[in-house]
Amino acid sequence: MEQRARTGLRWRPALRGPDDAVVLGRPGSSCRHRRPRCLDRPRRDPVRPSRVRGLDAVAVPDGRRGEAVLPARSGGALAEWLLDRMGLSNDVAQNRSWPVDRDTRPELPYSGDRQVVAYQRGEQSSLRRALFGRRLVDTCALCGRALPVAMLVAAHIKRRADTSSVERRRTDNVMPACVLGCDDLFELGYITVSRAGIIQAGPRRRPMTSELATVVGGLLGRTCSFWDESRERYFAHHRRFQRREAERYELS
C-alpha cells in the first residue's frame, strides 16, 4: 500500500524493521540490497525529510532506483537495525548535536570542527613505495627493530627544507625511522651518524631527562643500516645543521 510523505511524494514500504516499523522507499524502487552513496560528495538531488513511524530520519538519494533512509538522531532499536541493514555504524561525532552529558563539566571551550587549508608533501607516497614496496614489516635504520611499516616514516637525512627540487626526487636522502622515538631523536639532534656510519650523541643536550638519556644511550654505538658513501653527504649536512642549531639556541 502506497503512503504519502510530508513532502507530497509517493512512497511505498521497502523494509520492515523491529516493532513492525516501516522504512519508506520511492515507488518502483528497492533499497533492500542497495547501499547509500558517499555522503561527502556534492549532489544535485535535494535531501528530503521523511517520517518512519515516529523516528526522525533523512532520505538520502541513492541514484535513480531508490532512496536509503538514514536516522538524523542516534538511539532506538530502529536506528540500530537500519544502520546495520545498510552496513553503517552510528558515530555520534556526525550527529547534528552532541548528546547531553550531565556527568562531567566542560573544562575547555569547544567550538566544533574548523576547516583548514594545508600543504602536503607531494613526493611522500612515492618515497614510501620506494622504501617499503609492498612489505608489511620493515626495519628501522637506527634502532634495528622490525616493525610494521605503519610505524615507520620516510625520514629525510638532509633536512627537507634545505633540499632542492631535484634532491626531493632522490630516494637516497631518506631512510626508515620508527615513530617509537628514533625519528624525533634524529630530527631534533639528540643523535647523529658519524662518518663511519656509527650512531653517536648529537650536539643537543637540553632539555634532557634521565629517561631520555637512557633511550639515547641505548642507540649509541649502533651502526646505521642506511649509511654508505653515497649518503654520507646527507649525513654530513645533518651533523652541520644540528651543530649550528645547538649553538644558536644554546642547547649544547
Q: Kindly report the number of other CB atoms within 10 A of residue 153's CB atom.
A: 21
pLDDT, mean over the chain: 76
Q: Output the pLDDT for position 97.
A: 61
Q: Kindly report the number of other CB atoms within 10 A of residue 21's CB atom.
A: 17
pLDDT interval class at 5 (50, 70, 90): very low
Q: Output the pLDDT for position 183.
A: 97
Whole-number percent of the chain with pLDDT over 70: 59
Contacts of 27 (CB under 8 A, 6+ apart): 2, 10, 11, 12
Residue ranges per structural domain of the chain: 3-94, 136-248
Residues 77 and 52 sit within 8 Å (Cβ to Cβ): no
Tens of pLDDT along 188-220? 999 999 999 999 999 999 999 999 999 999 999
pLDDT interval class at 119 (50, 70, 90): confident
Task: Say whether 3 sits in a helix, a strand or coil.
Answer: strand
| Statement: residue 30 has pLDDT above 90 | no
Q: Which of 76-80, 89-93, 181-185 has the lowest mean pLDDT?
A: 89-93
Q: Output the pLDDT for position 28.
A: 47
pLDDT interval class at 177 (50, 70, 90): very high
Measured distance CA(20)–CA(51) in Å, rounded: 14
